[in-house]
Amino acid sequence: MINSGIAKLNIEEPWATAEGLKWLSTSKIPFVGENGEIIGIIGMSIDITEHKQAEEALAREQYLMQALMDNLPDHIYFKDLESRFIRISKSHALLFGLDDPDQAIGKSDFDFFSGEHSQQAYEDEQTIIQTGQLLNIEEKETYHDRPDTWVSTVKMPLYNKEEKIIGTFGISRDITKQQLAREEIKLKNEELIQAHAEKDKFFSIIAHDLRGPFNGFLGLTQIMADESSSLSTKEIQQMAESMEKSASNLFRLLENLLHWARIQQGLIPFNPIVVRLLPIADESIAMVFDQAKIKGIEITRSIPNDLAVFADYNMLQTIIRNLVSNAVKFTTKGGKVMLSAKPAGDNFVVIAIKDTGIGMRQEIVEQLFRFDVQTGREGTEGEPSTGLGLLLCKEFVGKHGGKIWVESEEGVGSTFYFTIPLNAPA
């Protein structure tokens, strides 16, 4: 109803027709007679059905877009040509610690991520802007104040109505759990490969390196049992010396095998204490003294009397004994083996076992301390070697948080180094 207080009325109203519902935009004004009284109404209607339908379609699209941006757990974002945010989804805002997605407008990845991720993302987006090609990748997101995450991301060029690129947009899905699961599977596979290599190594030692010395030992005992009455005293003495040598080699091999088996079963306790290094070194050298004496090899040591380390006594003795024994094994008659130690900084002591032996080629050096490669070779007097002793050394040094490495030159000699903590951790 129109009264004199309204000069004009504009409304949009539905109009039912036989063809269906239409919309009209109507303007109505009062019709005033000659005496100034309103005597009627003048109106004009325009069919705006198409315009109304377009508005409703746009409103629906906006509603659907907003529902998507507010509820999808994936991160959706739109950026301008400078990689600044022009819109982000609610989940993306929560990732950034924002209460309102509009708070991200005008900012960039550099405001939320570390430089490592932000720079790479910026370069990727600039490439998309230049080439018009989408990018589908898995990327690591790094932060300043929280753990890294992994996302599967699709980034695309953003076009305007004129088909001109005005920025980029993308969607990222968190795949951190899947990535961690993949890394766990990879680690388990590596452990299985290592376990398989260890099994092969054991079978190799039992089938060849252990069986061979036993056959030789048993052969000597058989000769002595069958022909002792016809053997001279000198021959019996020579056989006894050979048997003693074989028994010593077998004992060392069996001892290393038992050590390794107990390590794999977690049966060897690790009890580091503060101990003087010199007495342990002297005891270890004494265990291989006869082996060195037979070959006329001189063993010297240069260790400060008051130098103490934080180590497991038995493990440290095993490390030194194995390395000195190896040095003697691969040094020719009349050679030298030198044991030294000194503080190396970072609360560690570096211990070196140097020999004047036959040395090694670089390819052998690179394969030492590996279970999946056979590096054992005979000593200068045919002494057997499986490489198991070095693997034990690596395990025991690792238990102490130290490192082991070697420098060698063929025909000149080798120096094995390892580090042990100087003092107990604070």
CB 99 within 8 A of CB 196: no
What pLDDT score was predicted for residue 386? 63
pLDDT of residue 204 exceeding 90: no
CB 28 within 8 A of CB 9: yes
Tell me the pairing of strands 348-355 and 308-311: unpaired
Token pair, residue 399, equals 């238990």
Q: What is the mean pLDDT of residues 83-109?
A: 92
CA dist., res. 231 & res. 234, Å (int):
8
Class of domain 72-174: alpha beta
Tell me the pLDDT band of 375, cut-offs 50, 70 and 90.
low
CB 405 within 8 A of CB 411: no
What pLDDT score was predicted for residue 402? 94
What pLDDT score was predicted for residue 389? 78
Choose between 263 and 403: higher pLDDT: 403
What pLDDT score was predicted for residue 280? 93
Highest mean pLDDT among 10-19, 36-45, 299-308, 379-388: 299-308
pLDDT of residue 350 exceeding 90: yes
What pLDDT score was predicted for residue 238? 80
Choose between 173 and 41: higher pLDDT: 173
DSSP state for residue 82 in the 8-state scheme: T
CA dist., res. 177 & res. 145, Å (int):
19
CA dist., res. 31 & res. 113, Å (int):
68
What pLDDT score was predicted for residue 191? 80
Choose between 424 and 336: higher pLDDT: 336
Classify domain 269-426 by CATH number: 3.30.565.10
Return the CATH fold of 1-70. Beta-Lactamase (3.30.450)
In the chain, pLDDT over 90 holds for what percent of residues? 38
CA dist., res. 337 & res. 297, Å (int):
7
DSSP state for residue 224 in the 8-state scheme: H
CB 328 within 8 A of CB 289: no
Phi-psi region of 137 (alpha: psi -120 to 50; beta: other; left: phi over 0): beta
Q: Which residue has the tokens 């027709």?
A: 17
Q: Which residue has the tokens 């063929």?
A: 410
Q: SS3 breakdown of the chain: % helix, strand, coil, rounded to 5?
A: 45, 25, 30
Terminal Cα-to-Cα distance of the chain (whole angstroms): 91
What pLDDT score was predicted for residue 72? 85
Q: Which residues contact 310 (CB under 8 A, 6 or more apart)?
A: 272, 273, 274, 400, 420, 421, 422, 423, 424, 425
What pLDDT score was predicted for residue 215? 66
pLDDT of residue 84 exceeding 90: yes
What pLDDT score was predicted for residue 27? 86
CB 78 within 8 A of CB 167: yes
Tell me the pLDDT band of 6, cut-offs 50, 70 and 90.
low
Residue type, 96: F
CB 408 within 8 A of CB 365: yes
CB 341 within 8 A of CB 280: no
CA dist., res. 150 & res. 173, Å (int):
8
Choose between 258 and 408: higher pLDDT: 408
Token pair, residue 65, equals 């877009």
Choose between 272 and 214: higher pLDDT: 272
Token pair, residue 378, equals 């005979």
Residue ranges covered by each domain of the chain: 1-70, 72-174, 269-426
pLDDT of residue 424 exceeding 70: no
Q: Among 110, 105, 72, 108, which Cα is nearest to 90's?
A: 72
What pLDDT score was predicted for residue 210? 63
Tell me the pLDDT band of 145, cut-offs 50, 70 and 90.
confident
- The C-alpha angle with vertex 21 and arms to 16 and 24, in degrees rounded to 5, equals 80
**Average pLDDT of the chain to the nearest whole number:** 84
Q: Is 132 helix (H, G, I), strand (E, B) or coil?
A: coil
Tell me the pLDDT band of 2, cut-offs 50, 70 and 90.
very low
pLDDT of residue 256 exceeding 80: no
Q: Do the domains 1-70 and 72-174 sit in the same CATH topology, yes or no?
A: yes
Q: What is the mean pLDDT of residues 381-407?
A: 83
What pLDDT score was predicted for residue 1? 44
CA dist., res. 70 & res. 94, Å (int):
11
Q: Report phi then psi at 252, rounded to 5.
A: -65, -40
CA dist., res. 363 & res. 122, Å (int):
44
User: Within a 13 Å sphere around the CA of 241, how many CA atoms are in the beta-carbon half?
Assistant: 9
Q: Is 372 helix (H, G, I), strand (E, B) or coil?
A: coil
